[in-house]
Amino acid sequence: MSTEMMKIASGTLSDHDRTIDDESLAYSTGAFDVDFDCSNWGAYRAINLMAESYFAGYDEGTTSDMITAEDFNLISKNMLGRVLIDEDDARMLTNNTSLQLEEGYEIKVSQIDVDGTKTQLELLRNGKTVDTEIINVPDTYVYVYESDIEELGDVPLIAAHIDSIFVGTDADMITPRSM
């Protein structure tokens, strides 16, 4: 989606002089909603800046409570983020294996309950644990990692939908879907 506009004041350019004087160029852009690939999650706010798309925040009216029940507006704090992964593909992870994410993050399956209803997930960054959580399927099947970002407070940075847990005779596994 294009929200950027660049306007050059009339009479600024000529055939002989292609220089744009100070105060003769205006650039504007605005935030817009982008639907998550996982349709149950609603949407997040994004903004285009110099032909690149950036994460701008969450809107309580369009982002699912599974991710957050609060508004987060990075632009109001002169900040922008990047969307590293937004996909709705299923994967399979066995006990003690990891799903590699971006920027050094990985989600590791630490334990799977013998009943097949709970799994302990560990979020690592550059090999160090930053979060651990027990997920109950189907009750709390979305793992959300929040990080304290300056004046915004705890902002959801990583979300993973755990589709199912399987306990077998040879291997136990979970199926994370949607990142």
If DSSP codes are grouped into helix, strand and coil, which group holds residue 134? strand
Q: How far is residue 142 CA from its own chain's centroid? A: 13
pLDDT tens digit string along 132-145? 999 887 766 788 88
Residue with more model confidence, 170 or 46: 46
How would DSSP label each residue in 13-36?
A: --SS--PPPTTSEEEE--EEEEE-
Q: Where in the chain is the domain with CATH 2.60.98.40?
A: 87-179
What's the pLDDT at 1?
64
pLDDT over 70, % of the chain: 97
Q: What is the mean pLDDT of residues 107-130?
A: 90
Give the CATH class of 87-179.
Answer: mainly beta
Q: What is the pTM of this model?
A: 0.76
Distance CA 176, CA 42 (A): 18
Backbone angles phi, psi at 149, to 5 degrees: -110, 105
Residue 118 structure tokens: 């709970």
Task: Give yes or no for residue 8 having a pLDDT over 80.
Answer: yes
The overall average pLDDT reported for the chain is 85
C-alpha triplet 85, 88, 90: angle, nearest 5°: 110
- For residue 169, give the DSSP letter: S
User: Cβ(162)–Cβ(152) under 8 Å?
Assistant: no
Residue 90 structure tokens: 């299923």
How would DSSP label each residue in 69-118?
A: SS-EESGGGT--B--------B--EETT-EEE-STTEEEEEEEE-TTSSE
Question: Among 162, 176, 153, 161, which Cα is nearest to 57's?
Answer: 153
Distance CA 63, CA 42 (A): 5
